[in-house]
């Protein structure tokens, strides 16, 4: 009989899980205080032995992802949040922001194997991994998770669509890891090239939303897609299962839903910011890390197991951003990056980045109120967008004073239906 769950942790009684995680929480706080300079200062007044309840955890300060760029500039490269010295880590990555992220030597350091197993990945299969291996850790996150399961990985990365279609046709992988929109693009291009890949039957997708129409389209092409929610900083946070009753929270983290921009936990079922505490990661012991993402806990999920048999709490999925940060083609774009582009061009009086289109077909346009409007300036601004955001963007000049005076730098105007 095939194993139904990744391990026995997933089906623990909630009381057993809570007892084990609270003990791990106290140890993690003590470890962070002793080994990570940032947490030694931030939590210097805290008795780690007393942080053994969710109420005690909720009294600790929140460190937000949006703060990391400034902190890392003050104390490069990781802002003092790392407990393992740089020489003891395996990799350092750099995501837009810029934000640096570490990778330790432990197998499946980001704990992605659990989500892959729930998506149907099994030992001996070939995983076609289209997440980037360049600068950002997404490709490595998926690779190490697949290796933990005993899978072989083809490191496809991004781009080179026609070559990827040819590789899919010749390698005949059974599993895909990447964004759902790129998977759709590969299937469509394969049909155009008469190089279909019928071997793909399962996919673990992340980096962007996978709306129901896209999921149904993939299903019609023989592929069951499951979503994974994680970040480069904390690894896996939650994942989809066959149960279809929310995203099951990973066993290696504590998740709180707090008031956006604040520290107080929200009532169960209400939308707030996802705040994560990582348990057992001695290299990068993030405590109350504010992701900037919005979600909510599925009502009664702490008392009611998912139909798949997993007993941890569940999230309602990704419900947006608590700040103006947004994702474009799987990459975070920050208000500070817009400000940097404006700083490079004194001709710009005001600017607003507007993201339109649909998920996977994003169009990013910087609307500029400028002292002059000519092709040379538009080209220069476009170059700055590529350099700062590592994405291509359009430039549109708008009449003086026409931009909304609402304090927003980034507007997400995409359709998610």
d(CA 139, CA 331): 13
The confidence score (pLDDT) of residue 79 equals: 98
Residue 255 lies in a domain: no
Whether residues 25 and 136 share a domain: the answer is yes
Whether residues 165 and 54 share a domain: the answer is yes
Looking at the structure of the chain, the number of domains it has is: 2
Walk along the chain (417 residues) and give the pLDDT tens digit of each residue.
678 999 999 999 999 999 999 999 999 999 999 999 999 999 999 999 999 999 999 999 999 998 999 999 999 999 999 999 999 999 999 998 899 999 999 999 999 999 999 999 999 999 999 999 999 999 999 999 999 999 999 999 988 999 999 999 999 999 999 999 999 999 999 999 999 888 999 999 999 888 888 999 999 999 999 999 999 999 999 999 998 889 999 999 999 999 887 899 998 988 889 999 999 999 999 999 999 998 999 999 989 999 999 999 999 998 877 777 888 888 888 887 888 899 899 999 989 999 998 767 889 999 999 999 999 999 999 999 999 999 999 999 999 989 987 667 898 888 765
Contact 184, 214 (CB under 8 A): yes
Whether residues 210 and 338 share a domain: the answer is no
Tell me which H or E stretch contains 152. strand 152-155
Domain boundary, last residue among 203, 223, 244: 244
Whether residues 214 and 111 share a domain: the answer is yes
Whether residues 332 and 229 share a domain: the answer is no
Question: Which CATH number does the domain housing residue 378 bear?
Answer: 3.30.300.30
- Residue-wise pLDDT for 146-183, tens only, equals 999 999 999 999 889 999 999 999 999 999 999 999 99
Whether residues 229 and 344 share a domain: the answer is no
Residue 308 lies in a domain: no
Whether residues 237 and 128 share a domain: the answer is yes
Residue 49 lies in a domain: yes
Whether residues 109 and 240 share a domain: the answer is yes
The confidence score (pLDDT) of residue 132 equals: 94
Whether residues 240 and 93 share a domain: the answer is yes
How many C-beta atoms lie closer than 10 Å to residue 365's C-beta? Answer: 17
Tell me which H or E stretch contains 171. helix 161-171
Contact 359, 417 (CB under 8 A): no
The confidence score (pLDDT) of residue 31 equals: 98
The confidence score (pLDDT) of residue 320 equals: 77
Question: Which CATH number does the domain housing residue 38 bear?
Answer: 3.40.50.12780
Closest CA to 106 of 129, 94, 89: 89
Domain boundary, last residue among 244, 274, 309: 244
Whether residues 89 and 197 share a domain: the answer is yes
Closest CA to 112 of 251, 226, 242, 236: 236
Residue 294 lies in a domain: no
d(CA 260, CA 257): 9
| 369 contacts: CB under 8 Å, gap ≥ 6 | 348, 349, 350, 351, 397, 398, 399, 400, 401, 402, 403
d(CA 327, CA 360): 10
Residue 278 lies in a domain: no
pTM to 2 decimals?
Answer: 0.83
Residue 76 lies in a domain: yes
Whether residues 238 and 338 share a domain: the answer is no
Residue 154 lies in a domain: yes
Domain enclosing residue 349, as ranges = 328-412
d(CA 250, CA 239): 7
The confidence score (pLDDT) of residue 359 equals: 67
Whether residues 217 and 68 share a domain: the answer is yes
Domain boundary, last residue among 244, 262, 294: 244
Residue 140 lies in a domain: yes
């Amino acid at each position: 009989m095939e194993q139904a769950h990744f391990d026995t942790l997933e089906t623990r009684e909630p009381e057993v899980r809570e007892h084990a995680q609270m003990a791990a929480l106290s140890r993690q706080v003590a470890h962070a205080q002793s080994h990570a300079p940032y947490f030694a200062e931030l939590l210097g007044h805290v008795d780690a032995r007393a942080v053994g309840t969710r109420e005690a955890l909720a009294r600790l300060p929140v460190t937000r992802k949006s703060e990391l760029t400034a902190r890392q500039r003050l104390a490069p490269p990781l802002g003092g949040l790392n407990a393992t010295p740089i020489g003891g880590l395996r990799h350092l990555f750099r995501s837009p922001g810029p934000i640096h992220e570490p990778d330790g030597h432990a197998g499946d350091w980001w704990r992605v194997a659990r989500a892959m197993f729930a998506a149907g990945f099994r030992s001996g299969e070939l995983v076609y991994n289209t997440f980037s291996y360049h600068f950002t850790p997404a490709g490595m996150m998926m690779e190490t998770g697949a290796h933990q399961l005993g899978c072989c990985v083809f490191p496809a990365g991004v781009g080179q669509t026609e070559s990827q279609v040819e590789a899919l046709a010749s390698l005949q992988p059974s599993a895909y890891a990447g964004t759902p929109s790129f998977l759709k693009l590969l299937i469509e291009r394969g049909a155009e090239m008469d190089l279909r890949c019928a071997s793909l039957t399962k996919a673990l997708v992340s980096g962007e939303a996978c709306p129901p129409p896209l999921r149904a389209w993939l299903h019609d092409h023989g592929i069951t897609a499951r979503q994974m929610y994680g970040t480069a900083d904390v690894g896996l946070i939650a994942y989809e299962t066959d149960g279809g009753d929310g995203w099951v929270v990973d066993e290696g983290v504590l998740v709180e839903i707090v008031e956006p921009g604040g520290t107080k936990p929200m009532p169960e079922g209400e939308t707030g910011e996802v705040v994560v505490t990582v348990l057992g990661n001695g290299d990068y012991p993030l405590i109350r890390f504010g992701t900037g993402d919005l979600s909510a806990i599925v009502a009664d999920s702490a008392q009611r197991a998912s139909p798949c048999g997993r007993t941890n709490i569940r999230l309602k999925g990704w419900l947006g951003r608590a700040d103006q940060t947004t994702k474009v083609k799987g990459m975070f774009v920050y208000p500070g990056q817009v400000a940097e582009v404006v700083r490079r061009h004194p001709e710009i009086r005001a600017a607003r980045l507007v993201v339109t289109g649909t998920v996977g077909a994003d169009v990013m346009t910087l609307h500029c109120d400028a002292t002059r409007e000519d092709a040379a300036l538009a080209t220069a601004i476009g170059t700055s967008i590529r350099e700062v955001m590592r994405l291509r963007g359009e430039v549109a000049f708008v009449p003086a004073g026409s931009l909304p005076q609402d304090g927003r730098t980034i507007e997400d105007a995409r359709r998610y239906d």
